[in-house]
Amino acid sequence: MVKAIRIHEFGGVEVMKWEDVELGEPKTGEIKVKNKAIGVNFLDVYMRKGLIDSFTSPLPYTPGLELAGVVIVVGPEVTTCKVGDIVAYAGSHVSAYAEELILPADRVVFVPPSIDPVVAAGAIFKGLTAYSLVRGCFKVGPGQTILYHAAAGGVGSLACQWANALGGTVIGTVSTKAKAVQAKEDGCHHVIVYKEENFVDRVMEITSGKGVDVVFDSIGKTTFEGSMACLKNHGCLAVFGMASGEHEPLRFQQAAEKGIYYTVPSIMLYTKARDDLVAASEELFSNIEKGVLRVRVNHTYPLSQAAQAHSDIESQKTTGSIVLIP
């Protein structure tokens, strides 16, 4: 038996229970991992509320999408890792909020010795998401201008640093002046506190009325129309979250006015093949090792207090990455 967070019904943070779970042993192609650290993502909140059918596990379930830990048991026919290896995992339906868990061996990646497992746990899902944005669905490069909403968040911190390193001009939106300071440190050339000024007006001022090449939007309903307005002709709108709710359907006329490209990037698709997963994670960890990316693990909680972590992320009290410690 191991301890884990269990959810028996969809709802608020009160549905998260600290319980004993029987784990069993790994089967063919599987490994057992003892968690050292577990990342918290806003997608965990969506799943807890039952908002995304494609990600939501059947009840009851243990939440969690990213982790780093040590391999303690190797199942039959596993050749990609061994007992004692430090590995990381990012993906859906993994049940990461637990002391130990069973994982498919071909979906874990090695964590370099120079990277603390706490950093790896706070970076693997968010970092691969950032990879899918700036290196996948829209390859950021010199001469391009991007708008990133929630620039001080876990994904935002990494995506803005990465886009800056690739030569892009980065405009970030945040909710407070304190978050604006962090966003500036994380590579944003311009930071907009959206509670104090209209972000569309400010973006058009910064770009001399031209608009931006791409908007990365994880907010959804409250930013969608403004994000569309910020795009230049043939710009790209990448929507990868809905923190404020699902946006209204994109109308044909809206897209036709500027000839925009609309996409919903997913790390599961960009890393579906193991070779792609390994390549992306190696680039992520290499950038962390070289100092190109700084992972801000700004908040840690005991695993048993995961409900508090969810409450804090929903109320916008957090910045950077949030990590649970078993």
Contact 62, 98 (CB under 8 A): yes
- For the cut 70, the answer to whether the pLDDT of residue 33 exceeds it is yes
Q: How many CB atoms lie within 10 A of CB 284?
A: 28
DSSP for 223-246 reads: THHHHHHHEEEEEEEEE---TT-P
| Terminal-to-terminal C-alpha distance of the chain | 14
Please give the pLDDT value at position 54. 54
- For the cut 80, the answer to whether the pLDDT of residue 290 exceeds it is yes
Lowest mean pLDDT among 13-17, 55-59, 262-266: 55-59
| Domains of the chain, start order | 2-125+273-325 (3.90.180.10), 142-264 (3.40.50.720)
- For the cut 60, the answer to whether the pLDDT of residue 39 exceeds it is yes
* DSSP at 68: E
- For the cut 60, the answer to whether the pLDDT of residue 123 exceeds it is yes
Contact 101, 33 (CB under 8 A): yes
Please give the pLDDT value at position 256. 87
Mean pLDDT of 293-303: 95
Q: Which of 168, 58, 74, 68 is nearest to 115 (CA)?
A: 68
Read off the pLDDT band of 208 (50, 70, 90): very high
DSSP for 122-145 reads: HHHHHHHHHHIIIIIIS---TT-E
CA dihedral (118, 122, 125, 131) in degrees, to 10, reads -110
Would you say the pTM of this structure is higher than 0.75? yes
The sign of the CA dihedral 182, 186, 191, 194 is negative
Contact 68, 121 (CB under 8 A): yes
Contact 111, 97 (CB under 8 A): no
Please give the pLDDT value at position 223. 94
Mean pLDDT of 135-144: 96
- For the cut 80, the answer to whether the pLDDT of residue 97 exceeds it is yes
- For the cut 80, the answer to whether the pLDDT of residue 57 exceeds it is no
CA dihedral (78, 81, 84, 85) in degrees, to 10, reads -150
Please give the pLDDT value at position 94. 82
Q: How far is CA 138 from CA 99, 132, 214, in A?
A: 37, 8, 8
Please give the pLDDT value at position 297. 94
Contact 160, 180 (CB under 8 A): no
Stretch (H or E) spanning 71: strand 66-74
- For the cut 80, the answer to whether the pLDDT of residue 92 exceeds it is no
Percent of the chain clearing pLDDT 70 (strictly above):
99
